[in-house]
Structure 1
Amino acid sequence: MNDSSVGQAGKAATVSARISPAGGLDILSRNEVARLRDVSGSGLHGLLRRCALAVLTSGNISDDPGSMFELFPDFDIQVLQQDRGIKIELTHAPAQAFVDGQIIRGINELLMAVMRDIVYVSTQLEQGGFDLDDSVGITHAVFEILRNARTLRPHVDPNLVVCWGGHSISREEYDYTKAVGYQLGLRGMDICTGCGPGAMKGPMKGATIAHAKQRRRNNRYIGITEPGIIAAESPNPIVNQLVIMPDIEKRLEAFVRMGHGIIVFPGGVGTAEEILYLLGILLHPDNAGIPFPLIFTGPKQSAAYFEQIDRFLRLTLGDEVAQHYQIVVDDPAMVARAMVRGIDKVRNHRLDNKDAFFFNWALNIPLAFQQPFRPTHSAMRELSIRHGRPRHELAADLRRAFSGIVAGNVKDEGVRAIREGGPFDIDGDKDIMQALDALLQAFVVQHRMKLPGGTAYEPCYRVRAG
């Protein structure tokens, strides 16, 4: 039950309420509660408040990480320790998260998931439970976070399809993602996305209808995010399992370790970052022969988008890179059938090699893809985007370049760096820089990089050839 009152904070309707946890997290230690209430720099309250507000505004579409706090400047969340468990006190919370004064159950569950992951990661880091100095230790950290979140299911045949794509896409593209999700759902596939709107919501929405038609229960709609992006991409309402990874690199590794295949819809720089991350891993010699279905797809209006992506990948990483992906335009059923065939190969390969279905241990993810990239001006200038390097190493630096642009567009630390020091400089071989600039300019023209309120996009980067 909630004890609630309704009021106004700024211009948005709010509710103040004391709620009981839903979704499994009902006890915390006194030390954990103290850390969640600690507003100092070493405390967790600021992180909890930011992620909690993102969950409570589920369904909002905004590219601006600060806009939520402008709408709800007085919002606060406090964890109260009680003899029989915990209570959550919400002050000036978004009214959209409540119905007749009662918090929506799904939002309550996502709120508890946020708290669970923040507490768990913080505790493990404090106690030295995660060894983040080498590749094996980082992979084990990703596994432990996912296991603690209970997203790893044993004794289930491979059926988890990861869907990547932009949160700011056209109506035609959004409807297409729903059609693909529907076809996947009819074939018994579960869906995992970055949890936000657009191409992250559409496949889940389509799959829910198909799952209902097939009378399929215990469906998984997994959303994986991280603190730096959740404010710009609030979880969509369909997500029923939310995981907060510590940073973008561990988020990407979680997708690749959990997923049995990946579908990429049209998107912007974040989607390009994801593509380069996965292709860089698949291009590593140690991963030759490991099946991993990867499909690029969109409606016929998006054909030119994927043609440009394909040209850029072939120019930078060689024509052989195209062996690792398939492009399907305007055919949701073909996409689903191709993904099912690809996942059958994954299943057989893992049976032959006695690998787990629920976590891809065999895939070698080099440390360069795992270490957090801090988007500073010096770090962006030092990227080596030049021919002649091993392809997986070049892919790693290209991924970092796109990651820095994502940060400069929507992440607090990146936005602040651009405001204080001007655009990031990206340097490399002339032909790569020309192709990169053309790709980024196309994203701008296609409104795949834009600012809230219709503000004209001001690039946070400068491309140089030297």
Structure 2
Amino acid sequence: MTPRKTTNATVTPKGSLETLSQREVQQLRETGSGSVYALFRQCALAILNTGSHSDNAKTILEAYPDFEIRILQQDRGIRLELCNAPADAFVDGEMIASTREMLFSALRDIVYTQSELENKRVDFSSSKGITDYVFHLLRNARTLRAGVEPKIVVCWGGHSISTEEYKYTKVVGHELGLRGLDICTGCGPGVMKGPMKGATISHAKQRIVGGRYLGLTEPGIIAAEAPNPIVNELVILPDIEKRLEAFVRVGHGIIIFPGGAGTAEELLYFLGILMHPANQDLPFPLIMTGPKKAAPYIEQLHEFIGATLGPEAQQRCKIIINDPSLVAREMAQGISEVTQYRRKQNDAFHFNWLLTIDEHFQHPFEPTHENMASLKLTRNQPVHELAAHLRRAFSGIVAGNVKDKGIRRIELHGPYEITGDKDIMQPLDRLLQAFVEQHRMKLPGNTAYVPCYKLAT
């Protein structure tokens, strides 16, 4: 790939890590070296590429082979020295403010995560221990705000969507903002940007100061989906499972917009949790929506849920086509019910402790060829466990499509082989084929999609 314009710079903290002792800076420098450095470099490069239209982590990394970032100590704290950094992250020699904030958010999250692991403070042997770990990561990022009434709407959907679908997400975001609701997304482009953009306007109209545009990501995704510039709170969780748990712990309602494999993964994750017997009476509004042209996509995804998880799972999700105002009204009403329930149960507004998440949804899934071939896509298991395995199948497809490690595995070993019961694999095949035909696997304009998977019964 042709090298791009670069620059050298030194930046000091903004938004995170402004006040540190000399010992804390030294600990940051020690933790942020070695194997952790490669991870921080990758995330930093993605943040500096905010606005990039590439969804290929390998391409972005190869575009800036000489990029380096160093953690330096000074009397008043910490600073970062950047060499051969993307020039687009600067204006007249100064780093763009939002980029600077997100850069130090990345340092905060990655180094804190590593520090927690090194000090062995995390109990990964139990579901409660993993949830406690997610809580600490979010609290350290100052995401949890006690006493604030529920108003965070999680918006899930694809980065590879049509212009009409993108405009629709902005209108829905605008309607949500008019009702005083905040937006949480995966922080990238497409559906992750549209609702935030719409809400910024309506928050301004309503004179809402301090509107929240929360972006939750993880290292494998951030390089492929660089944060959009509207995000004013960025949190990088250590893996996709912690990221997904963070969404459902801090969010008070979820909207599913058109997307692809990643969106299906998120929906299956959430429905699998809602299908757990312990969560059947717990209110948590879930709406699938899109413009009129996206109706076939929504119907296909809804049909897939019915064919695999059954009608009970379908009933947990409300479908609204081409009506942004109704989406916002239904979501506001749903969140009102969440508020009443949390008050009655004495549960926190800022973190959903009462939601039961089975360990099948919490342990990291490494999408190797062996693990993908071993997925249990069969009927002889509880529905919420089948949802967990289906979620992993889509997670592997996402990895093969856009994550650096996944792309390299496919290049080396060929497509993943996924097997299962015929009455599960056939609906899966139809859904994935529809994603390919609708160009929902990669960003528009890229070369023809080559599947990273093979399905068999």
Q: Smaller-chain TM-score range?
A: over 0.9
Q: Which amino acid aligns with 2:110?
A: I
Runs of 4+ in 1 over 4 A off after TM superposition: none
SS of the aligned residue for 1:44 comes to helix
Q: TM-score, normalized by length of structure 2? A: 0.97
Q: Which residue of 2 aligns with 1:112?
A: 104
Preserved contact between residue 63 and residue 452 of structure 1 (Cα < 8 Å):
no
Question: Of residues 26, 34, 47 in structure 1, which corresponds to 2:30?
Answer: 34
Distance in 2 (alpha carbons) for counterparts of 1:127 and 1:180:
44
How far residue 197 of structure 1 moved from its aligned partner, in angstroms, is 0.1
CA offsets per residue over residues 238-264 of structure 1, 9 Å max, x none?
000000000000000000000000001
How far residue 64 of structure 1 moved from its aligned partner, in angstroms, is 0.6
The correspondence of residues 392-431 of structure 1 with structure 2, limited to 5 A, is 392-431=384-423
Q: Which residue of 1 aligns with 2:279?
A: 287
SS of the aligned residue for 2:5 comes to strand
The answer to whether 1:210 aligns with 2:206 is: no
Distance in 2 (alpha carbons) for counterparts of 1:74 and 1:425:
36
Q: TM-score, normalized by length of structure 1? A: 0.95
Q: Which residue of 2 aligns with 1:87?
A: 79
Q: Which residue of 2 aligns with 1:235?
A: 227
The correspondence of residues 445-456 of structure 1 with structure 2, limited to 5 A, is 445-450=437-442, 454-456=446-448
Distance in 2 (alpha carbons) for counterparts of 1:451 and 1:345:
38
Q: Which residue of 2 aligns with 1:225?
A: 217
Distance in 1 (alpha carbons) for counterparts of 2:344 and 2:289:
30
Using CA pairs under 8 Å that are at least 6 residues apart, name the structure with larger relative contact order, 1 or 2: 2
The answer to whether 1:353 aligns with 2:340 is: no
CA offsets per residue over residues 166-210 of structure 1, 9 Å max, x none?
001000000000000000000000000000000000000000000
Question: Of residues 160, 163, 166 in structure 2, which corresponds to 1:168?
Answer: 160
Distance in 1 (alpha carbons) for counterparts of 2:263 and 2:202:
26
Seen in structure 2, the aligned counterparts of structure 1 residues 414 and 11 have a Cα distance that, compared at 3 Å, is closer
Q: Which amino acid aligns with 2:409?
A: A
Distance in 2 (alpha carbons) for counterparts of 1:107 and 1:383:
39
The answer to whether 1:331 aligns with 2:327 is: no
CA offsets per residue over residues 217-237 of structure 1, 9 Å max, x none?
011100000001110000000
Question: Of residues 435, 442, 450 in structure 2, which corresponds to 1:458?
Answer: 450
The answer to whether 1:150 aligns with 2:142 is: yes
Q: Which amino acid aligns with 2:430?
A: A
Distance in 1 (alpha carbons) for counterparts of 2:3 and 2:280:
56
Q: Which residue of 1 aligns with 2:122?
A: 130
Q: Which amino acid aligns with 1:32?
A: L
- Gap runs ≥5 in structure 2: none
Preserved contact between residue 187 and residue 216 of structure 2 (Cα < 8 Å):
yes
Question: Of residues 187, 192, 195 in structure 2, which corresponds to 1:195?
Answer: 187
How far residue 416 of structure 1 moved from its aligned partner, in angstroms, is 2.1
How far residue 10 of structure 1 moved from its aligned partner, in angstroms, is 5.3
Q: Which residue of 1 aligns with 2:359?
A: 367
Q: CA RMSD in A?
A: 1.3
Preserved contact between residue 10 and residue 73 of structure 1 (Cα < 8 Å):
no
Preserved contact between residue 31 and residue 114 of structure 2 (Cα < 8 Å):
no
How far residue 452 of structure 1 moved from its aligned partner, in angstroms, is 8.0
Preserved contact between residue 160 and residue 444 of structure 2 (Cα < 8 Å):
no
Q: Which amino acid aligns with 1:431?
A: D
Q: For structure 1, which segment, 83-92 or 217-226, has the greater mean C-alpha deviation from structure 2 after superposition?
A: 83-92
The answer to whether 1:440 aligns with 2:432 is: yes
Q: Which amino acid aligns with 1:29?
A: V
The answer to whether 1:312 aligns with 2:304 is: yes
Seen in structure 2, the aligned counterparts of structure 1 residues 459 and 365 have a Cα distance that, compared at 3 Å, is same
Distance in 1 (alpha carbons) for counterparts of 2:41 and 2:354:
37
- Gap runs ≥5 in structure 1: 1-8
Distance in 1 (alpha carbons) for counterparts of 2:412 and 2:363:
25
Q: For structure 1, which segment, 436-445 or 74-83, has the greater mean C-alpha deviation from structure 2 after superposition?
A: 74-83
How far residue 453 of structure 1 moved from its aligned partner, in angstroms, is 5.9
Preserved contact between residue 269 and residue 391 of structure 2 (Cα < 8 Å):
yes
SS of the aligned residue for 1:463 comes to strand
Distance in 2 (alpha carbons) for counterparts of 1:437 and 1:372:
25
Give the total of aligned pairs.
453
The answer to whether 1:376 aligns with 2:368 is: yes
How far residue 451 of structure 1 moved from its aligned partner, in angstroms, is 6.6
CA offsets per residue over residues 423-443 of structure 1, 9 Å max, x none?
111111112111101100110
SS of the aligned residue for 1:66 comes to helix
Percent of aligned pairs with the same residue? 60
Preserved contact between residue 151 and residue 181 of structure 2 (Cα < 8 Å):
yes
SS of the aligned residue for 1:365 comes to coil
CA offsets per residue over residues 118-149 of structure 1, 9 Å max, x none?
11100000001111121000000000000000
How far residue 34 of structure 1 moved from its aligned partner, in angstroms, is 2.5
Q: Which amino acid aligns with 2:31?
A: R
Q: Which residue of 2 aligns with 1:50?
A: 42
